[in-house]
A and B are shown apart, each in its own frame.
Chain A
Amino acid sequence: MSDAIQAPAQERNALERWWERLSRIDPRYLIAFLITLVLVAAQLRYHMLGSYDRLVLALGVCLATEALLSWFDRGKVVNLLSAYISGISLTLLIKPQGGALWPFVLGGFLAISSKYVLRYRGNHLWNPTNFAISALLLAAPDRVSILSHQFGNDVTTNLVIWAFGLIIAARVGVIHITLTYVASFLLLNSVRAVALGMPVLPEIAPITGPMYQLFVFFMITDPRTVVRGRQRQIVVAVLIAVMETLIRFGSDKGWPLPTAFNAAPAILALATVGPVAKWLDLRTLASKSTG
């Protein structure tokens, strides 16, 4: 009897110990692990990269740009994990015309340099990958498109990535952002579909794709570009989903939006809402500190 009572307690302790150990790991390593997991699954199972030279170029440019600019800016080379995450994200998310490699070079440079150039009160405003992809899609829609591949036709890969993603998001303390966005996406786009007399399933289907997995685990949860405070973060996640729904509504209605908005509404929603929210957040913080 006492054994039976003690066993779950021991298990709980083991779980707690594991979670504690996980908590001691620098969050950036966990995020780097997750993006590496996505990369390996995407390539080994689904050949999603297209070619390895894309990976080498995007990673190389991101790492080199980060090293160079941080040395120039701060007199030392900063931890390159953030550049590593950007490089892999870009490799997975950019699909160029005709096997061109320049989008990976330019994208890598734009992503990292945006952190050093587009700043307000010492902070960058855009998630680097989000900025680079938005810029490429807006400036060169004839040459660059966004990832539209699937993670296969079974749910296994999806489940593995969602499971690891949620655990790591919880550990990093951003799971509320991910869940808020996902819930808002499902709700708002279901409402949109019903309001416009469209079938609901196609409107919520995109969330099951890998592009969205990269989006919810690596872009909107970027610790350096989210606003301060759990409640504000939740509000911003909802606003991003609202903006995306508005873009999709515009596309439904045939508004003359640039192709980038139709092809990658989530990316563009973050690119427009995120920096404004961050700017307001930093401004508020500055007002408080001067007041």
Chain B
Amino acid sequence: MRLDRGPIRAAADAEHPGFVLRDETLAAGIDFVHHRASFDPKIAGIEPHVAALGASVSVTDFDGDGRPDLYFTNSRFGEPNALYHNRGDGTFEEVAASAGLADLNKPGEGVSMGAVWGDFDNDGREDVLVYRYGYLALFRNVDGHHFEDVTEKAGLRRWVNSNGVIWLDYDRDGLLDLYVTAYFRSDIDLWHLTTTRIMHNSFEFATNGGKNLLFHNLGNGKFEDVTDKMGVGSTRWTLAAASADFNGDGWPDIYLANDYGPEELYLNDHGRRFVLSTAGLESESKSGMAVALGDAFNRGRLDAFVTNISERGYLFQNNNLRLNEMPESRRFRNVAEGAIADAGWAWGAQFGDLNNDGANELFVANGFISADPNKSYWYAMSKIAGANGRFFEDAATWPPFGNASLSGYERAHVYINRGVAGWVDVAKQVGITHTYDGRAVALADLLNRGAVDVIVANQNQPAVLYRDYPDSTNHWIAFKLVGTRSNRSAIGAEVLLEAGDLRQRRIVDGGSGFASQNDRRLHFGLGAHEWVDRVVIYWPSGTQQILLRPAIDRLDTVTEPSR
């Protein structure tokens, strides 16, 4: 299969990537700093490791003013989450407290690990599910400014040590369902441990993690646990999930990035059940951290990029760029080579056309724990990483962390796709300077100007907003989808754009990457193309809608046809 198709190759190269990313965090009024959790002293020796997650960012337009807002989670008791309302002039105001979404990190309730937005009651306002090491929390958007905690009423008050939740409509009934990933077992309260045997029992084949959960939206404000009925209760230490119709049968499937184990693909059998597929994912066991979906080579398919761990001299797990060949061969094919395979200790990642040339770039956040730069935990980690699982299932037997770093001070990577010439990292050229411990990455056109801005939530460190400045000569088009028969947020809708020899597919995001969610609006770069031939929208309901020659360099709102 050729991977150099499309009009886009050779337009961008390492010296002329065609865009610049500028850190405009403070100018935008974003001053969010994540604080990590603190747990039971029984696991103090490896607390930096156990508490190394929780910085998340999700994009929403909670007040429906047409401008994307940002929600960041915090992970220490008493530290508030932050909801930044987009004023539309390049600045934000923090309104989490007045919205009722700030004070979510409390003893007995848990600490936030992330949030996903979706209109679960189809009232036209985006609601939010906050996942924690602790109880899930569902908030209904009351009036575009205030949120009501409806967790109990919805039947979702469950203790789950979760690092990821996605919205999807698995049975295509027009109501958003929830898939909740679990990391530590759900009977573990990290503040009141009855045992220190809480860790994974293998670095490559662990199955003693928390059980993932699927909740079916019943439509009356309540959700029903259908995990066992649908067969999706993996216990593989899942860190991230994403959903799309990978095999083209019209039903959304679920892709899991699992820490300490191979990735998993659950194929949706007509909404009746999920079947764990052997799609070539089981042959490599790594440390899946995030799964990003995007059309990597303009084939009109959604491929999967899964981040992993690499540390020079110690470990090269290598990231996976898995080409979706499900429709023809029922498999994904890993084509990650060279620079894209090694992004250090990689976390959140997202595909987005940052230079508007028609091809996706790939932004990868990385770095695990930045502490004393002169002390590395890698040597200590190497002692137990190859050993039998019984040695490290008990947190008390791990070498104490002290003030050591573990793959700390790593700079984010920004890869441009040069087709057969491979991906090349242009982070330095485009202006990435920080070496924070990146976790979540979300993309959004924050000023509705045809440019994809990048927001990064950093662990125990400040969040960063990189404003994107693409070449002004390139064209673009964007769509906001509104479901009618499908869920109102249109989550799961896929859009295939065709402009001459350019093809590009995107999906409305119900949560992807690591602990993140992109703007639900879909942005397509067009390069030099001055028109779009047609756009095909695959709505979650099964409806296909075709738009011919839509106007470019603008955002269009498209409502799902009633029939």
Interface string of B272-300 (1 = CB under 8 A from A): 00000000001111000000000000000
Q: Which residues of B contact A141 (CB under 8 A)?
A: 312-313
Tell me whether B316 and A198 are in contact (CB under 8 A).
Answer: no
Tell me whether B285 and A208 are in contact (CB under 8 A).
Answer: no
Indicate if A122 sits at the interface (CB-CB under 8 A): no
Tell me whether A148 and B314 are in contact (CB under 8 A).
Answer: yes
Cα distance A145–B386 when bound, in Å? Answer: 13
Indicate if A153 sits at the interface (CB-CB under 8 A): yes
For residue A252, which residue of chain B has the nearest CB?
B379
Name the contact of A202 in the complex, choosing from B202, B390, B398 (C-beta under 8 A). Answer: B398
- Asked, given contacts A97-B341, A147-B386, whether A152 binds B313 with beta carbons under 8 Å apart, the answer is no
Indicate if B203 sits at the interface (CB-CB under 8 A): yes
Most buried by B among A151, A199, A209: A209
Min C-beta distance of B29 to chain A, whole Å: 40
Indicate if B374 sits at the interface (CB-CB under 8 A): yes
Q: Which residues of B contact A54 (CB under 8 A)?
A: none
Indicate if A180 sits at the interface (CB-CB under 8 A): no
Tell me whether A206 and B205 are in contact (CB under 8 A).
Answer: no
Interface string of B313-344 (1 = CB under 8 A from A): 11110100000000000000000111111100
Interface string of A202-234 (1 = CB under 8 A from B): 110111111110000000000000000000000
Tell me whether A209 and B386 are in contact (CB under 8 A).
Answer: yes
Q: Which residues of A contact B345 (CB under 8 A)?
A: none
- Asked, given contacts A98-B342, A262-B379, whether A153 binds B385 with beta carbons under 8 Å apart, the answer is no
Indicate if A95 sits at the interface (CB-CB under 8 A): yes
- Asked, given contacts A142-B313, A262-B379, whether A97 binds B388 with beta carbons under 8 Å apart, the answer is no
Tell me whether B342 and A46 are in contact (CB under 8 A).
Answer: no
Name the contact of B313 in the complex, choosing from A155, A212, A263 (C-beta under 8 A). Answer: A263
Tell me whether A259 and B314 are in contact (CB under 8 A).
Answer: yes
Tell me whether B314 and A202 are in contact (CB under 8 A).
Answer: no
Name the contact of B382 in the complex, choosing from A150, A151, A262 (C-beta under 8 A). Answer: A262
Tell me whether A199 and B397 are in contact (CB under 8 A).
Answer: yes
Tell me whether B313 and A148 are in contact (CB under 8 A).
Answer: no
Min C-beta distance of B307 to chain A, whole Å: 14
Q: Which residues of B contact A207 (CB under 8 A)?
A: 387
Indicate if B351 sits at the interface (CB-CB under 8 A): no
Indicate if A272 sits at the interface (CB-CB under 8 A): no
Q: Which residues of A contact B182 (CB under 8 A)?
A: none
Name the contact of B386 in the complex, choosing from A137, A210, A251 (C-beta under 8 A). Answer: A210
Indicate if A47 sits at the interface (CB-CB under 8 A): yes
Tell me whether A46 and B341 are in contact (CB under 8 A).
Answer: no
- Asked, given contacts A199-B397, A205-B388, whether A153 binds B316 with beta carbons under 8 Å apart, the answer is no
Cα distance A199–B401 when bound, in Å? Answer: 12
Indicate if A260 sits at the interface (CB-CB under 8 A): yes
User: Which residues of A in the span 139-169 have a Cβ within 8 Å of any Cβ on B?
Assistant: 141-142, 144-145, 147-155, 158
For residue B311, which residue of chain A has the nearest CB?
A145
Name the contact of B388 in the complex, choosing from A50, A98, A155 (C-beta under 8 A). Answer: A155
Tell me whether A47 and B283 are in contact (CB under 8 A).
Answer: yes
Q: Which residues of B contact A46 (CB under 8 A)?
A: 204-205, 285
Q: Which residues of A contact B341 (CB under 8 A)?
A: 97-99
User: Which residues of A in the span 3-21 have a Cβ within 8 Å of any Cβ on B?
Assistant: none
User: Which residues of A in the span 253-284 have a Cβ within 8 Å of any Cβ on B?
Assistant: 254, 259-260, 262-263
Q: Which residues of B contact A198 (CB under 8 A)?
A: 399-400
- Asked, given contacts A46-B285, A152-B202, whether A206 binds B387 with beta carbons under 8 Å apart, the answer is yes
Tell me whether B382 and A152 are in contact (CB under 8 A).
Answer: no
- Asked, given contacts A47-B285, A98-B342, A150-B205, whether A205 binds B391 with beta carbons under 8 Å apart, the answer is yes
Q: Which residues of A contact B160 (CB under 8 A)?
A: none
- Asked, given contacts A98-B337, A98-B339, whether A150 binds B282 with beta carbons under 8 Å apart, the answer is no
Cα distance A46–B282 when bound, in Å? Answer: 10
- Asked, given contacts A150-B387, A201-B391, whether A262 binds B313 with beta carbons under 8 Å apart, the answer is yes
Interface string of B374-418 (1 = CB under 8 A from A): 110011101111111111100001111000000000000000000
Tell me whether B388 and A142 are in contact (CB under 8 A).
Answer: no
Name the contact of A98 in the complex, choosing from B205, B336, B392 (C-beta under 8 A). Answer: B336
Q: Which residues of A contact B336 (CB under 8 A)?
A: 98-99
Cα distance A167–B433 when bound, in Å? Answer: 57
Tell me whether A148 and B342 are in contact (CB under 8 A).
Answer: no
Interface size class of B (residues with CB under 8 A): 35 or more
Tell me whether B313 and A137 are in contact (CB under 8 A).
Answer: yes
Min C-beta distance of B410 to chain A, whole Å: 14
Tell me whether B388 and A263 are in contact (CB under 8 A).
Answer: no
Q: Which residues of A contact B178 (CB under 8 A)?
A: none
Indicate if B201 sits at the interface (CB-CB under 8 A): yes
Min C-beta distance of A151 to chain B, whole Å: 8
Min C-beta distance of B310 to chain A, whole Å: 7
Tell me whether B399 and A202 are in contact (CB under 8 A).
Answer: yes
Min C-beta distance of B364 to chain A, whole Å: 14
Q: Which residues of B contact A150 (CB under 8 A)?
A: 202-205, 385-389
Indicate if B254 sits at the interface (CB-CB under 8 A): no
Indicate if A96 sits at the interface (CB-CB under 8 A): yes
Name the contact of B391 in the complex, choosing from A142, A208, A262 (C-beta under 8 A). Answer: A208
Min C-beta distance of B149 to chain A, whole Å: 40
Min C-beta distance of A138 to chain B, whole Å: 10
Min C-beta distance of B263 to chain A, whole Å: 12
For residue B376, which residue of chain A has the nearest CB?
A262
Indicate if B451 sits at the interface (CB-CB under 8 A): no
Most buried by A among B205, B385, B400: B205
Q: Which residues of B contact A98 (CB under 8 A)?
A: 316, 318, 336-342
Q: Which residues of A contact B285 (CB under 8 A)?
A: 46-47, 149
Q: Which residues of A contact B387 (CB under 8 A)?
A: 150, 205-209
User: Which residues of B in the span 201-227 have a Cβ within 8 Å of any Cβ on A?
Assistant: 201-206
Cα distance A202–B396 when bound, in Å? Answer: 10
Name the contact of B383 in the complex, choosing from A50, A149, A205 (C-beta under 8 A). Answer: A205
Tell me whether A145 and B389 are in contact (CB under 8 A).
Answer: no
Most buried by A among B375, B378, B388, B389: B388
Q: Which residues of B contact A148 (CB under 8 A)?
A: 203, 314-315, 382, 385-386
Name the contact of A145 in the complex, choosing from B204, B314, B339 (C-beta under 8 A). Answer: B314
Q: Which residues of B contact A259 (CB under 8 A)?
A: 312-314
- Asked, given contacts A95-B315, A97-B316, A260-B313, whether A203 binds B383 with beta carbons under 8 Å apart, the answer is yes
Q: Which residues of B contact A202 (CB under 8 A)?
A: 380, 383-384, 391-392, 397-399
Name the contact of A142 in the complex, choosing from B205, B312, B318, B398 (C-beta under 8 A). Answer: B312
Tell me whether A149 and B310 are in contact (CB under 8 A).
Answer: no
Cα distance A198–B386 when bound, in Å? Answer: 19
19 additional contacts, CB 8 Å, given A211-B386, A263-B314? A46-B204, A95-B315, A100-B337, A144-B316, A148-B315, A148-B382, A150-B389, A152-B205, A153-B202, A199-B399, A201-B397, A202-B399, A207-B387, A208-B387, A208-B388, A252-B379, A262-B314, A263-B313, A263-B379
Q: Give 12 pairs: A residue, B residue, CB < 8 Å, sorted on A.
A: A47-B262, A98-B318, A98-B342, A144-B316, A145-B312, A148-B315, A148-B385, A150-B386, A199-B399, A202-B399, A206-B384, A254-B374
Report which A residues bind B (CB closer than 8 A). Answer: 46-47, 50, 95-100, 137, 141-142, 144-145, 147-155, 158, 198-199, 201-203, 205-212, 251-252, 254, 259-260, 262-263
3 cross-chain pairs, A with B, having the tightest CB-CB distances, nearest first: A209-B386, A259-B313, A153-B202
